[in-house]
Chains A and B, each alone.
Chain A
């Protein structure tokens, strides 16, 4: 028999109270909280990366989405996450069948094609309103095999060479390198005579991946051809790999094997890099932290290879996907078009980090939040004007430093060049096969062997994704 104390509870009373309490806690939300509507909600949920230029998010994107939401009678909820979290977060949401209506990637999300909507209609409408989409953006969001736009690309980022003018002047090349060979000739001289090395990553990270691609393409080599056949093992690839082994020996130090996404910025700001491959963000950081270094930083277009080809990999490619589970498809598509319509603000607030996918898009009238540019009617005009006369240049800084980037779209291309981006190219990128191929040679492996090893891995990956029906080609 349970014994009751005057003040306390019996064990039986305790169990009863706990059971009732637990049930009540479980049931209460169902009774008292408003039920989530299974129908179309008036909330658009957007997941985007935390932009490298902080003011882009704080001063523009968050306000833009809020105002757009007000104008369209929809609550827009924006979540920012680090770029490294995007793949796992997207995978989790797709697997759970719920989450954000729009997810922004900064690389081609081609592996998600089966779980996202075909955005051909958005691209068609955008091209109708804003002119032709840049081919590198198209190739980063369109699968020619399935004829689907698995994502929508409103912009991208240029990946030029950044060099320290004072160092290159002393070495006898005041306008910086023009060819890859110049890096060995003059970069080697700078390292030997001035003690400053080049900083081109040979590591398991994003910038090294882009540098490796730029090198291969400029040596007329690539992972795949235009029809998505693997063509990595070629004389040209071997020549590119041999070149990198020489470059490492002459002009770099082992720090490049431990290169990270911030190493470009760190090395440039610390005055420990004569040349890096990076977007303007490293230079912008230098402007804020070490102005005297920033004033000495100049830019080069993609370097020419032995036969004159010069290619650079886009540094960032903005790609929005709409997962099939989204209940706000129309609103999400409308938002994407509005984003393109206002891309002038994206370019400005990113301090020219973002370049447009639709260069012919008209500039909306009225106060755009930046000093008006005389005579500018299209994004192309703004692009040319701002790169000629950088609105973010430091006082006393030389004018026209960014002019060489005006025609960047001619020498910039997509991951997968000369073919489209695809899941096999994505996995090759994610598993660092190219930078490791170059690093192996730089560490002493024969170039032919390094290429053969890489080819083995690449072919297995392509065969696997081809079986899933997402990659074209036959070999």
Chain B
């Protein structure tokens, strides 16, 4: 017990214990998150570095360090070079497409119309479904025999008849033709990233002061000019965040390519994440798999640093 005497001195007042130290409590509270991140990300990351410098296999986890040999070998591998190129291609093309589409959608959703909630709900749906399930759905859409897209094209006479615009063959073979397979992968990435990007862009558009837009309108800035000179510059930081999020998600995703094409035809859709899996887990060469996966790290670290910087700028704005 403690208390104050009439003369202002304290009686039996104990010294503040560790439970009264706000700093300590804060550290305790943050500790689980740090432990979790260290265990789930830090340890595997350090292990990946160690593996990439060793000759470890799935069947022999003994670590024998061999320097940079794995990196030299994967750089000489033509499939690795295709995968690296495809990884960047899919990420940048998908995300650029997503930014354009999400901008259009967000602008449309800013307007008031009947059934707006339903449209918003439908747009968010792809984000709520697991990626693998959604991609399996797309796999059916792109099926070589039963594709409903092909069925529609055949029904309207664009496919499957002599002289048809898309050819006389009954199917387009979406995942069998390299260019169509690449387009199919881009489309699925765009489909799954669109909801998040739309929500981010909506938040950006909502944050523009209405007075500013009204003032611009009074000054004669309408339509395209208002978009280019006011809304895009003001929402640029938040667009950048949507862009960077999209890049990270696409760079690191393995599911879409694995489910749709397994990297085919002839590695034309192979990306680093799937090649890591085929080489490291299915092929048994864990060390080379780790080396392949680490190639993403500098790019991802750069994107993450940019994201944090953008986020801080957005806060200031």
Q: Which A residues contact B (CB, under 8 angstroms)?
A: 1, 12, 15-16, 87-88, 90-91, 94-95, 109, 111-116, 202-205, 253-258, 260, 263, 266-267, 270, 272, 423, 426-427, 430-432, 436, 439-440, 443, 453, 456-457, 460-461, 464, 467-468
Contact = CB atoms under 8 A, between A and B. Distances in A.
B27 interface: no
B78 A94 contact: no
Contacts of B265: 202-204, 257-258, 439, 443
B114 interface: no
A255 B283 contact: no
B279 interface: yes
B283 A468 contact: no
Contacts of A468: 55, 57, 60
A95 B173 contact: no
A272 B150 CA distance: 16
A426 B144 CA distance: 29
Given A432-B264, A460-B73, A258 B144 contact: yes
Contacts of A109: 59
Interface stretch (B94-102, B175-183, B189-197, B220-228): B175-183
A91 B176 contact: no
Nearest to A12: B19
Nearest to A439: B266
17 contacts: A15-B19, A15-B25, A91-B286, A114-B59, A203-B264, A204-B261, A253-B173, A255-B145, A257-B173, A258-B181, A423-B284, A427-B283, A439-B264, A456-B78, A461-B283, A467-B55, A468-B57
Contacts of B282: 87, 430-431
A319 to B, nearest CB: 13
B52 interface: no
Nearest to B285: A427
Interface residues on B, range: 35 or more
Contacts of A204: 261-265, 267
Contacts, number: 136
Interface of B: 2, 19-20, 25, 55, 57-62, 73, 76-79, 142-146, 169, 171, 173-177, 181, 261-267, 278-279, 281-286
Contacts of A443: 265-266
Given A204-B264, A256-B176, A111 B59 contact: yes
A258 to B, nearest CB: 4
A113 B59 contact: yes
Contacts of B285: 427, 464
Contact of A460 (B77, B142, B177): B77
B143 to A, nearest CB: 8
A1 B77 CA distance: 68
Nearest to B181: A258
Contacts of B171: 253, 255
A263 B144 contact: yes
What 3 A-B pairs are tightest by C-beta distance, nearest first? A111-B284, A255-B144, A112-B59
B58 A112 contact: yes
A203 B176 CA distance: 9
Nearest to B13: A1
B159 to A, nearest CB: 13
A32 B178 CA distance: 60
Contacts of A426: 283-284
B177 A1 contact: no
Contacts of B278: 430-432
Contacts of B145: 255, 266-267, 270, 272
A258 B176 contact: yes
A258 B58 contact: no
Nearest to A203: B264
A467 B281 CA distance: 19
Contact of B58 (A90, A263, A431): A90
Given A114-B60, A254-B173, A1 B264 contact: no
A357 to B, nearest CB: 22
Contacts of A94: 58-59, 61
Nearest to B267: A436
Given A12-B20, A253-B169, A258-B175, 18 more contacts: A87-B282, A111-B57, A111-B59, A112-B59, A203-B262, A204-B263, A205-B264, A257-B175, A257-B177, A258-B144, A266-B146, A270-B146, A427-B284, A431-B283, A439-B265, A456-B78, A457-B77, A460-B77
Given A254-B176, A258-B174, A443-B266, A453 B61 contact: no
A110 to B, nearest CB: 8
Contacts of A1: 2
A87 B266 contact: no
A353 B244 CA distance: 50
B121 to A, nearest CB: 33
Contacts of A254: 144, 173, 176-177
Nearest to B2: A1
B181 to A, nearest CB: 7
Contacts of A260: 262
With most chain B CB atoms within 10 A of its CB, the pick from A91, A257, A457 is: A257
A445 B77 CA distance: 19
A257 B73 contact: no
Contact of A91 (B20, B58, B261, B262): B58
A258 B284 contact: no
A461 B76 CA distance: 12
Nearest to B47: A95
Contacts of B263: 204, 432
A450 to B, nearest CB: 10
Nearest to B139: A260
A471 B25 CA distance: 58
B110 to A, nearest CB: 41
Contacts of A270: 145-146
A15 B19 CA distance: 8
Contacts of B146: 266, 270
